[in-house]
């Protein structure tokens, strides 16, 4: 299938996905930020509970990465927004992510690919990490205990951010799951007084993402 070219500026576009249209937003760093050869695909929370690519945690994660010079790609899973199809319990959503990743890699083979996900989006990106082999992985409130993760251990640099007052995902279930996995390149950040949707803590989340992810950049900027 012929997909659109990768844009040169902030653009909304449509890819041809496994079951039809996939709604995509590509955003670039501001002109005064040194661009990195990195493209991060960001996956949104559970569509059946109102999750979309415009979720505030998703957009804040994208903002944090663009401030480091990373280009971001947000998209709506099947059955969400203008994306075709119906919710598929994670399986089809992994196929959607693969389509976006294949497009990015074909269009920008020079760039490193990062995967980012919040809640259900973290599940999809983690499940897809073995096949897609991103250069880095960022998981915000991964829903361990709510979804059955396979036991593939992500070997790439991996940031997990978990709110200690998460009312949707049991924080201890996340910690126990990570302890069982024992990933070699994990950075776990526990945020006290923080709910699942990071209410009142989005600026703190932005700082956590930037402070960790800057170490993974091809040309790391000076610390702020």
169 CB contacts (<8 Å, ≥6 apart)? 119, 141, 142, 143, 144, 145, 146, 162, 196
How far apart are alpha carbons 142 and 121 in whole angstroms?
Answer: 8
pTM of the model: 0.97
Q: What is the structure's pLDDT at 38? A: 98
Query: Span 87-102, mean pLDDT?
Result: 97
Q: Which fold has domain 11-214?
A: Rossmann fold (3.40.50)
Name the band, by pLDDT with cuts 50, 70 and 90, for residue 224. low
219 CB contacts (<8 Å, ≥6 apart)? 34, 36, 69
H/E segment holding residue 91: helix 91-107
Name the band, by pLDDT with cuts 50, 70 and 90, for residue 152. confident
């Amino acid at each position: 299938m012929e997909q659109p070219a990768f844009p040169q500026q902030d653009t909304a576009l449509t890819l041809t996905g496994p079951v039809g249209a996939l709604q995509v937003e590509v955003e670039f760093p501001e002109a005064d930020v040194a661009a990195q050869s990195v493209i991060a695909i960001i996956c949104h929370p559970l569509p059946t509970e109102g999750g979309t690519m415009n979720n505030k945690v998703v957009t804040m994660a994208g903002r944090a990465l663009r401030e480091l010079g990373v280009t971001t790609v947000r998209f709506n899973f099947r059955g969400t927004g203008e994306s075709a199809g119906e919710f598929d319990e994670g399986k089809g959503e992994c196929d959607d992510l693969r389509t976006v990743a294949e497009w990015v890699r074909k269009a920008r083979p020079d760039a490193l690919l990062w995967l980012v996900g919040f809640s259900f989006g973290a599940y999809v990106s983690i499940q897809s990490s073995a096949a897609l082999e991103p250069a880095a992985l960022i998981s915000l409130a991964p829903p361990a205990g709510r979804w059955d993760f396979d036991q593939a251990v992500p070997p790439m640099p991996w940031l997990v951010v978990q709110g200690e007052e998460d009312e949707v995902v049991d924080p201890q279930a996340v910690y126990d799951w990570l302890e069982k996995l024992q990933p070699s390149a994990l950075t776990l950040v526990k945020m006290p007084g923080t709910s699942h949707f990071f209410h009142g803590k989005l600026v703190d989340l932005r700082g956590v993402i930037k402070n960790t992810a800057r170490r993974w950049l091809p040309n790391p900027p000076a610390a702020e």
